[in-house]
Structure 1
Amino acid sequence: MGMPRAVVLAAVTCLIAAGCGSGGGEEVISGPKGEITVLTNRTDLVDTRFAEYARRFNEVHPGVEVTFEAITDYDNEVKARMSTDDYGDVLLIPNSITSLKDLPDYFEPLGAVSELGERYRFVTEKAFGDEVYGLAVAGNAFGFAYNRKVWADAGVTTPPGTPEDFLDALRAIEARTDAIPLYTNYRNGWPLTQWQDAYPSVSGRPGVSAELAADDAPWTPGKPQHVVDSLLFDAVALGLTEDDPTTTDWESSKSMIGTGAIATMMLGSWSVAQLRAAAPIPADIGYLPFPVKVGGKFHSAVAGDYKMGISVHSANRGAARAWLDWFVDESGFAAAEGGIPPRKDGPRPDTLTDLTAAGVELFEVDHAQDALVTEIDDAAGIGLYEQEYRQALVDAARGVGGKGEREVFDDLNARWAKGRSLVTK
């Protein structure tokens, strides 16, 4: 991530075998054939690990030529390209594509939910009807990446159990260390969308999406949506984040948390492997649950990271499917990233050691009402999973716009209720 767009050709094409058998000639290659372009957000891996993936893939499928196209501003650029026919053969479905009913317009069906669900986790997250349109490349829990040494130096050695305890921990970090207590990554924007992923963890209930769809006032104090957003708002308002959020930088933050310049960041558990790789002492990087207990226990929803799909415009869909299946099943990408494997028979990653020690209960969310939530969100004009939504919260918390916290959340409740009335009438 972060380097300029890179394109690397990594393929083993047809081999000419002179003198084979009695007559010699060209070796016949069975299986899928053709050229495919694979879009990826991992600009940091495209010339190294992904090139090795392609080499290994070609040992199994020598007739497929794989070209990677790595894109820094992945979601925004790929979403724009999807208005054309040119968005690769295999790609990570942009997170900004939230309407599940749009999936068949852009992606090939991969199989039935009932069938794929026997083998893979997270299959309902990019499904419409009974068809799956994307398979997760890895899975995540949701909470906070943190520097263990900084927190210990501040005198905090156990996971905070309430939002108030969490804010007290940030205050202690501010008072006793030189670290930024909580780093928002405001300027890059996309890390702020991770806050919404923590929403189900606060409730501890698989049916949280249906509850949100049925609620006219989700930003009422004590409800999960308010708990998540008020924690961010309060941390900013109390001055427990960076001085100027417009100057934050994701790439720099990955090393800053390792060196102790940053104490905490809201990120999915996918981040732990990257942050440890950039840290002088990898073991300093840990992972905290969201500071809420239900029934005396921490909870974390687990969900798929990016889902890999196949473009409906691909000219080599067989080759594209061969790559998708191999990547999900055989590449080892999830394990290398410290992610929850998409295969149900895969092992639990060591990145979740802290959550295990804290007794965190992991669960998958029921996504049956996600489409309705998206419709309400669109009608309300809020954009729960859009970076601009929480950038606006950060701005309001630091005094931009003149609205106080209660006014902000009252306005959100009013807009959500209006959106529901338009969608469910």
Structure 2
Amino acid sequence: METRVIEMAKKHILAATTGAAAALALAACTGGAGGAAAGGDGIEGEPSGEITVITQRTDLVDTVFQDYKEQFEKEYPDVTVSFESMTDYEGEIAVRMNTQDYGDVLLIPNSVTPDKLGTFFEPLGGVEELGEKYALLEEEAYEGQAYGIPITVNTQGIVYNKKVWADAGLTDWPTTPDELLDDLRAIKDKTDAVPYYTNYADGWPLSQWDGNRGALGDPAYANEHIAYTDTPWAPGEWHHISDGLLFDIVAGGLSEEDPTTTNWEESKTLLGTGKVGTMLLGSWAITQMQQAAEDAGGSADDIGYMPFPYQVDGTFHAQVAGDYKNAINVHSEHKAAAWAWVEWFAEESGYAYDEGGLSPLVDGPTPETLAGFTDAGVELVALDPAPSGKEAYEANVVSESEVDLYGNIYRQELVDVARGAKDGDKESFFASLNERWAKARAAVG
């Protein structure tokens, strides 16, 4: 597939995929493909019946999602929608999927391996066909079949409190990791705010660091490095740049004093009210921080978003990728109704825009929350899909090495080493990661 580097001003995302997601690419499909309702080629019948939609948005299920229900049922009067929400979505849905009772529409969990997607989810139709309407389908597709539609498309970067940064005398975005470290030191010296918040205790926010590979501006990077080198943590490689920055932030005393006491929900208020200056998170977090600021009596205008501190030829780049994907339970008894919901959610709910995300529609709008990226000429990069036949190679190396590249465990270990709670230093920690990685590559072959 053609590689594309997408300028923000184009206001849409063309179909490409991230290397990390492609490493978890789908198994060959089983059964029919989706959608008489949307140009697919398998789901038949008029939408009707009762469907259950499972969501991770515990904060919206009793408010915004009830508005969705009313609008959807008005358009599809023969369908009744109910919702279930899960706080620990990944953990809880994995248990449910040991049965056939895991709703009618759900989000594809990260834990599903490539050879199992066709077992759990109904194929929706051809990537080429559906890709004329929906973006980034390759993230959950295999052999030309798509299994999920993004609920929103995120870009990656750093959410920050603009007032805190201004109080520290900072007006320009950092263009290198060293510049970011200098800026965080200025926040520490000139304000009362915690410069950076790791969200160590909840864990999952640390996984966000792997989503910034596109900052290098090279859509082919993941397919030519990372799983194809024995030393991803060597100087100059992405994980040395990224994880090295996290290490230096913590080692430099620029993060919270005791990371074991962090709290995700509280962190939104801390950043919104200026008690914390900076957090690396996907663009999905912007509206949550703005709402937290307003709820605490502050201003949503204090919340800003900047790209990862790295430039190529004077230009910032930011990776784009789909968020969770709405998918249909292969065991659902009301697949036509389920597919109608998946379509409606992507095309009519407004969820992506309202949540500050890029639209899952190819020609969808760009949210106001990313206006700063537009003004700064940030280029959005969708990483190339893995080569045919090697879709699962990176994931297999990750599994064999037991270095959870897309998770938080080894980054929590990194934080522990950096703060002196565990033996070692940056060089020895990265050397151990490289050793484990090299052995895994040799085992995978």
Q: What TM-score, normalized to structure 1?
A: 0.90
Identity over aligned pairs, percent: 51
CA distance in 1, matches of 2:94, 2:197: 27
- Aligned partner of 2:442: which letter? S
Are 1:407 and 2:434 matched, yes or no? no
Of 215, 218, 224, 1:205 maps to: 218
Larger RCO: Structure 1 or Structure 2 (Cα < 8 Å, ≥ 6 residues apart)? 2
What residue number does 1:145 align with?
159
Are 1:122 and 2:148 matched, yes or no? no
What residue number does 1:183 align with?
197
Give the 3-state SS of the residue equivalent to 1:263 in structure 2. Answer: strand
Is the 8 Å Cα contact of residues 175 and 310 (structure 2) preserved in structure 1?
yes
Of 242, 258, 262, 2:256 maps to: 242
What residue number does 2:233 align with?
219
Is the 8 Å Cα contact of residues 194 and 255 (structure 2) preserved in structure 1?
yes
Question: Which runs of 5 or more structure 2 residues have no equivalent in the other structure?
Answer: 1-44
Of 241, 244, 249, 1:230 maps to: 244
Larger Rg: 1
Q: CA deviation at 1:82?
A: 1.8
Q: CA deviation at 1:154?
A: 0.6
Of 73, 89, 92, 1:77 maps to: 92
What residue number does 1:133 align with?
147
CA distance in 2, matches of 1:304, 1:241: 29
Q: CA deviation at 1:423?
A: 1.5
1:256-305 superposed Cα distances (whole Å, 9 cap, x missing partner): 11110010011100111111111111011010110011122110011111
Counterparts of residues 388-399 of structure 1 (less than 5 Å):
388-399=409-420
Give the 3-state SS of the residue equivalent to 2:175 in structure 1. Answer: coil
Give the 3-state SS of the residue equivalent to 2:84 in structure 1. Answer: strand
Q: CA deviation at 1:420?
A: 1.2
Are 1:294 and 2:333 matched, yes or no? no
What residue number does 1:381 align with?
402
Moved more, 88-97 or 179-188: 88-97
Detail structure 1 runs of 4+ shifted over 3 Å in the superposition: none
What residue number does 2:339 align with?
321
CA distance in 1, matches of 2:206, 2:369: 21
1:101-148 superposed Cα distances (whole Å, 9 cap, x missing partner): 321121110111111112111111111221111110101110100000
Of 368, 388, 403, 2:386 maps to: 368
Of 33, 40, 46, 2:55 maps to: 40
Is the 8 Å Cα contact of residues 96 and 386 (structure 1) preserved in structure 2?
no
CA distance in 1, matches of 2:114, 2:256: 36
Q: CA deviation at 1:213?
A: 2.4
Are 1:335 and 2:350 matched, yes or no? no
CA distance in 1, matches of 2:222, 2:54: 30
CA distance in 1, matches of 2:438, 2:166: 43
What residue number does 2:81 align with?
66
CA distance in 2, matches of 1:382, 1:288: 28
1:156-180 superposed Cα distances (whole Å, 9 cap, x missing partner): 1111010000000000001101111
Is the 8 Å Cα contact of residues 153 and 352 (structure 2) preserved in structure 1?
yes
CA distance in 2, matches of 1:263, 1:191: 16
Judging changes above 3 Å, is the alpha-carbon distance between structure 1 residues 80 and 208 closer, same or farther for their aligned structure 2 residues?
farther
CA distance in 1, matches of 2:361, 2:318: 19
What residue number does 1:359 align with?
377
- Aligned partner of 2:377: which letter? G
What residue number does 2:71 align with?
56
Of 64, 76, 95, 2:110 maps to: 95
Give the 3-state SS of the residue equivalent to 1:328 in structure 2. Answer: helix
CA distance in 2, matches of 1:391, 1:81: 28
Moved more, 255-264 or 357-366: 357-366
Moved more, 203-212 or 162-171: 203-212
Of 267, 271, 274, 2:285 maps to: 271
Are 1:421 and 2:436 matched, yes or no? no
CA distance in 1, matches of 2:196, 2:189: 13
1:329-371 superposed Cα distances (whole Å, 9 cap, x missing partner): 1111001101000001111111112222222111211122552
CA distance in 2, matches of 1:100, 1:293: 34
- Aligned partner of 1:159: which letter? W
CA distance in 1, matches of 2:99, 2:255: 40
Q: CA deviation at 1:379?
A: 1.1
1:224-256 superposed Cα distances (whole Å, 9 cap, x missing partner): 111110111110111111111111111111111
CA distance in 1, matches of 2:241, 2:209: 11
Give the 3-state SS of the residue equivalent to 1:331 in structure 2. Answer: coil
What residue number does 2:34 align with?
none
Question: Which runs of 5 or more structure 1 residues have no equivalent in the other structure?
Answer: 1-29
Q: CA deviation at 1:389?
A: 2.3
Give the 3-state SS of the residue equivalent to 1:181 in structure 2. Answer: strand
Q: CA deviation at 1:199?
A: 2.2
- Aligned partner of 2:270: which letter? M
CA distance in 2, matches of 1:267, 1:228: 13
Is the 8 Å Cα contact of residues 214 and 382 (structure 2) preserved in structure 1?
no
What do you get for the CA RMSD once the two structures are aligned? 1.3
- Aligned partner of 1:344: which letter? V
CA distance in 2, matches of 1:298, 1:96: 32
What residue number does 2:271 align with?
257
Count of residues in Structure 1 that have an aligned counterpart in Structure 2:
393
- Aligned partner of 1:245: which letter? P
Q: CA deviation at 1:79?
A: 2.0
- Aligned partner of 1:373: which letter? E
What residue number does 2:363 align with?
345
Is the 8 Å Cα contact of residues 100 and 126 (structure 1) preserved in structure 2?
no
Q: CA deviation at 1:382?
A: 0.5
